[in-house]
C-alpha cells in the first residue's frame, strides 16, 4: 500500500556510482593516478551491483 515510501536501492547505488566517477575524474585531472584507479575499481563494483539488481 505504501510502496512509494520505500527507498529504491538501485537509485541509491546509481547516485553513489556517479559520485565515485566524479571523484575519479577529479583525481585523474589532478594527476593522482593511484587514487583514480582505486575509485574506478570501487565504481566498477557498484556498477556490477546495479547490473545485478536490474537482472532481478
Question: Which residue segment(s) compose the domain that 44 sits in?
Answer: 7-55
Per-residue model confidence (pLDDT) at position 7: 81
Residue 1 is assigned to a structural domain of this protein: no
Number of domain units in the chain: 1
Residue 51 is assigned to a structural domain of this protein: yes
Residue 21: which of 50, 53, 56, 1 has the closest Cα?
A: 50
Residue 18 is assigned to a structural domain of this protein: yes
* DSSP code per residue over 5-25: GS--HHHHHHHHHHHHHHHHH
Residue 2 is assigned to a structural domain of this protein: no
What are 1-56's pLDDT values in tens digits? 566 677 888 999 999 999 999 999 999 999 999 999 999 999 999 999 999 999 98
Residue 16 is assigned to a structural domain of this protein: yes
Amino acid at each position: 500500500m505504501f510502496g512509494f515510501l520505500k527507498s529504491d536501492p538501485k537509485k541509491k547505488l546509481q547516485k553513489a556510482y556517479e559520485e565515485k566517477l566524479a571523484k575519479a575524474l577529479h583525481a585523474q585531472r589532478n594527476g593522482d593516478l593511484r587514487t583514480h584507479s582505486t575509485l574506478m575499481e570501487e565504481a566498477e563494483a557498484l556498477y556490477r551491483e546495479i547490473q545485478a539488481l536490474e537482472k532481478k
